[in-house]
Chains A and B, each alone.
Chain A
Amino acid sequence: MTSLLNAQRPPVFCPGCSHERTVHALDQALGRLDRAGNQVAVVSDIGCSGLFDTFFDTHALHGLHGRALTYATGLKMACPELTVIVVMGDGGLGIGGAHVLSACRRNLDITLLVLNNFNYGMTGGQCSATTPAGATTSSGFLNRLEAPLDICTVAGAAGAPWVDRLVATDRQLSERLAGAIAFNGFALLDIRGVCPGRFSAHNRTSLRQIEADMHELPPADTIVAANQRPEYSAHYRQLAAAAPACLPPARIEMRRQHALPRRCRILLLGAAGQRINTAGEVLCLAAMSSGLHASQKNDYPITVMRGHSVSEVIVDCEPIGYTGIDKPDVVIALAAEGVARRRQIIGALSADDLVIRSEGLELPPSQARIIDVPAATLGIGPRDQALAALAILCSQGPAITREALQDGCKLRFGGSILDKALDVIDRCRS
């Protein structure tokens, strides 16, 4: 059995430290599995466990505290053939808790070794997420206030398909490590041990006591039957292979000449559900199919099904620079929610400006010419009023022609929705 231990850099742990046993057990486990150094990446966390990668002649990635699983995830997704082993302490477990839970849920083929010695050894023996409440630590009485975490129970609940718990001196350690590494999925081992440098000095913690305490915990028996499922990377590739190709963005061909003499700024003010953003997009596509430049900005609250919906559209024969609309040429006002967002702008409209509004909608007084959308007369529902307003706009000036609006609809819609949209435009012809 060949060893992957780094001959130039033997382990440098404190005398009696359980980590050293785990180094050798891991080496034996990799030997059992006949892994070559370049088939393995050791990803180590911060703290004494962070020294781990240096003791092996393998690929090595030593990163930030608690984040080892994040690099391992990217690495394993990029190199599915690579054996990826993450080593962290109980400190990394605590600070990187979200990553541990997510790794359990994800089930990527990574083996996580939690070198659990119940304290932050490297920084001077502070309490960690696994410190017993009765222990003496350099964190004063603080550990007495918190319950220690049993990561195996948590990992099992979070979906880990393989959890194992043992003391570092367990004769089976290398065999159990080999089993976890060979398992095709996420495997977590809670390897409990002593920290002679920081923890043992103040606590009468023997390995025998740790083992006895361990047996009080719920069992952690390697394979978690309820959590068996496809490995993430293989599953990802299976689903990705079936994903439809992503088309390039639609090229809007110029189909007609426009007669727009200068920039036209159109403000659409409505409420959720009125298809304001869609109408804005149809208008832009219509303009573009007439060879015009167009820009569109939408504004709506996070509650997308309630509240205002505002779309700012600019069409121009010249490229559009500034995309803001301080003074619109046309306002399409369909709901009080939208109007409330631009009250001042409406109030400042001049006699040259046009407002196309929903019948009966109250507006701030202004000089603008107002046309109502005769929705009831034409039998147009609330969801089609924005499109109807655009159809009315066609008869009111050079901003857009009816044919261009039809083009815009054909670019945006298909099937029965298109038929209905074209019908709405037709009804507004009169």
Chain B
Amino acid sequence: MKLPDLSTTITDGNLIPGNIMARCFIDGNEAISRAAVDAGCRFFAGYPITPATTIFHQMVKMLPPVGGICLQGEDEIASIGFCIGASMAGMKAMTATSGPGISLYSEQISFAIGGEIPLVIVDVQRLGPSTGSATKGADGDIQFLRWGNSGGLPVIVLAPVDAVDCYQLTGHAFNLAERFRCPVFIASNKEIGMTRESVELAKLQLPPIIDRTTCPVDQPFLPFQAPAGSDVPYFLPIGGQRLVRQTSSTHGADGYITGDTEQIGATIRRLAQKIDKYIDEFSFYEMDGEPHCATLVITYGVTARAARQAVAALRLSGHDISLLIVKTLFPVPVKILQETIRAADRIVLIEMNLGLYKTEIERLCSGREVIHHTRMDGELISPEEISAVLRP
């Protein structure tokens, strides 16, 4: 069925004068796709997997007409490999999958970390383990994203709450990937990716676009040499004027394999530091209420939507309660977490998994109890469920 052009308005009936508000009806996956293209992404490759497939559908509609490239890989390993190749040629690249695909990405993710290859990886999480439930949501991958690389180096994981976040965090994800030359994950969820909702898209703005820093023409180029005062090497594209070496092997600044442990150690420390040191500059979160409170609720992802409702209702009935929605999950935004945890009397953590963020919170609580509520059965955690936990 051909759809009419919905951007034109209907002309009969009793129209309300003036465009008071015009919302779009989109899901999280479309929001991510739209933001990617708006952020300058011109290369996408993916392999079909529910609930991430509609990102591919959207990108294959959006990219070709704007001169971009959208490929369907023979598998997930190929899809992310295509993105790595395109990114090394200088393009902003994105891939999208769900938990089973992240497993197959794993070795390539390690390459992107070690080879300092900018890349945005969307994980529209579904209920695991393994094949699990394709059409049921969960937040069961967050530690998998953090630790699913060989070597255990830090990565950036952003967690949207709704379609609005999907749009804006995708913009940030591209900026962080470009700035730090690293893979950046968007930990979405079936319940966000495939839920359509009314969004004032025109009101949303992406952050100013950041591009990877290229090597000035008058300076010598070593592919893995961070310039003075920076932890991130200059980028030059494969295929450009000056020769570029990329390698998945342990390498020196020149991009050749090295066995020099001093150089190896320095590079590994730099790879960790370039992400960890700057976490305060990209600690995305939403604080609803005062830090000084009787109860602080911490949550992330789609569960935050129910938590907002539960907190609002309890506040109306006189409870002193605040809500912290963590949107940068990794590196753990220690500063903001510590500040809010310190000021609260009681800490409650709500998660749509078996409790994957619990240790991260507990280690910041100096031995204080963390009241913990989790659910992992394919159902959303409801506001009523959260209220029952929060009521003293």
Q: Which of B7, B69, B90, B91 contacts A250 (CB 8 A)?
A: B7
In the complex with contacts A78-B89, A256-B16, A58-B84 CB distance below 8 A: no
Binds A, one of B120-128, B138-146, B192-200: B192-200
Task: Quote the shortest CB–CB distance from B323 to chain A (angstroms).
Answer: 11
Assess whether B73 is in contact with A70, with CB atoms less than 8 Å apart.
Answer: yes
B16 near A252: Cβ-Cβ < 8 Å: no
Distance in Å: Cβ of B196 to nearest Cβ of chain A: 5
Question: A70 and B85 in contact (CB under 8 A), knowing A54-B256, A59-B239, A99-B74?
Answer: yes
9 pairs across A/B with beta carbons < 8 Å?
A62-B246, A67-B107, A69-B81, A70-B85, A74-B83, A99-B77, A251-B22, A295-B196, A322-B306
Contact between B45 and A74, CB atoms less than 8 A apart: yes
B309 within 8 A of A: yes
A112 to chain B: closest CB distance in Å? 14
Which of B9, B75, B194 touches A253 (beta carbons < 8 Å)?
A: B9
Q: Which of A115-123, A174-182, A197-205, A409-417 contacts B (4 or more CB under 8 A)?
A: A409-417
Q: Which residue of B lies closest to A239 (CB)?
A: B64
Q: Is the CB of B380 within 8 A of A322?
A: yes
Sort chain B's interface into a size bin: 35 or more
- B34 contacts which chain A residues (CB < 8 A)? 248-249
B342 is an interface residue with CB less than 8 A from chain A:
no
Contact between B21 and A254, CB atoms less than 8 A apart: yes
Chain A residue numbers with a CB within 8 Å of B45 are 74
- Tell me which residues across on chain B come within 8 A of A61, comparing CB atoms: 85, 88, 238, 245-247
Chain B residue at minimum C-beta to C-beta distance from A98? B74
Report the bound CA distance from A298 to B195 in whole Å: 8
Chain B 103-115 interface 0/1 with A at a Cβ cutoff of 8 Å (1 = within): 0000110010000
**Bound form: Cα–Cα A239–B60 in Å:** 12
Decide if B85 touches A62 in the complex (CB within 8 Å): no
Q: Does B277 contact A (CB under 8 A)?
A: no
Which single residue of chain A is at the shortest CB-CB distance from B24? A249
Q: Which of A186-194, A285-293, A336-344 contacts B (4 or more CB under 8 A)?
A: A285-293
User: In this assembly, does B10 line the interface, its C-beta being within 8 Å of a C-beta of chain A?
Assistant: yes
Distance, CA A20 to CA B332, complexed state (A): 49
Min Cβ gap B58→A in Å is 8
Contacts of B71 in A (CB 8 A): 73-74, 77
- CB contacts (< 8 Å) of B111 on chain A: these are 63-64
For A415, what are the chain B residues with a Cβ–Cβ distance below 8 Å? Answer: 2
List the 10 shortest-distance A-B pairs measured between CB atoms, nearest first.
A70-B81, A74-B85, A250-B6, A78-B89, A240-B64, A79-B239, A71-B85, A74-B86, A251-B22, A74-B82
> Is A101 on the interface with B (CB-CB < 8 A)?
yes
Q: How large is the interface on A (under 10, 10 to 19, 20 to 34, 35 or more residues)?
A: 35 or more
**Which of chain A's residues have a CB closer than 8 A to the CB of B257?**
54
* Residues from chain A with Cβ under 8 Å of B90 in the complex: 78
A292 to B74, CA, bound (A): 43
Given contacts A54-B256, A78-B85, A246-B61, contact A60 B247 (CB under 8 A): yes
What per-residue 1/0 map shows which CB atoms of B223-241 lie under 8 Å from chain A? Answer: 0000000000000011111
CB contacts (< 8 Å) of A74 on chain B: these are: 43, 45, 71, 81-89, 93
The answer to whether B392 has its CB under 8 Å from any CB of chain A is no
Which chain A residues numbered 256 to 315 have a C-beta less than 8 Å away from chain B?
Answer: 256-257, 281, 284-285, 288, 291-299, 302
CB atoms of A64 and B108 under 8 A apart = yes
A321 close to B (CB within 8 Å): yes
Contact present for A70 and B195 (CB under 8 Å): no
Whether A90 is near chain B, meaning CB under 8 Å from some CB there, is: no
List CB contacts (< 8 Å) of B39-93 with chain A.
43, 45, 61-65, 67, 69, 71, 73-75, 77-78, 80-91, 93
Contacts of A384 in B (CB 8 A): none
Check if A410 sits within 8 Å of B83, measured CB to CB: no
Instruction: Say yes or no: A295 contacts B198, CB within 8 Å.
Output: yes
A240 touches B65 (CB 8 A): yes
Interchain nearest-CB distance for A88 vs B (Å): 13
Cβ contacts under 8 Å, B237 to chain A? 79
A57–B384 alpha-carbon span in the complex (Å) = 65
Residues of B with C-beta under 8 A to A41: 238-239
Residues of A within 8 A of B241 (CB): 38
Report the nearest A residue to B14, measured CB to CB: A256
Q: Does chain A have a CB within 8 A of B20? A: yes
Indicate with 1 or 0, residue by residue over A39-83, a CB within 8 angstroms of chain B CB atoms: 001010000000001100111111110010111111111110110
CB atoms of B9 and A101 under 8 A apart: no
List chain A residues, Cβ under 8 A from B83: 74
CA distance A288 to B78 in the complex (A): 41
A67, B81: Cβ atoms closer than 8 Å: yes
List the A residue with the shortest CB-CB distance to B2: A414
B24 touches A67 (CB 8 A): no
CB distance from B162 to the nearest CB of A (A): 9
Alpha-carbon distance A62/B87, docked complex (angstroms): 15
Docked complex Cα distance between A417 and B2 (Å)? 10
Q: Is B191 an interface residue (CB 8 A)?
A: yes
- Whole-angstrom distance between the Cβ of A12 and the nearest chain B Cβ: 11
Q: Mark B369-389, 1 if CB is under 8 A from A, else 0.
A: 000000000011011100000
- Residues of chain B within 8 A of A248, CB atoms compared: 7, 34, 201
Known: A78-B90, A78-B91, A243-B65. A37 touches B305 (CB 8 A): no
B243 touches A75 (CB 8 A): no
Does A245 count as interface, using CB distance less than 8 angstroms?
A: yes
A171 at the interface (CB under 8 A from B): no
With beta carbons under 8 angstroms apart, the residue of A67, A239, A324, A406 that contacts B77 is A67
Contact present for A73 and B82 (CB under 8 Å): yes
Chain A residues lying within 8 Å of B80, measured Cβ to Cβ, are 70
C-alpha gap A284/B248 in the complex (Å): 49
Q: State in angstroms the CA–CA spacing of A195 and B75 once bound together.
A: 32
Asked if A256 contacts B198 (CB within 8 A), the reply is: no
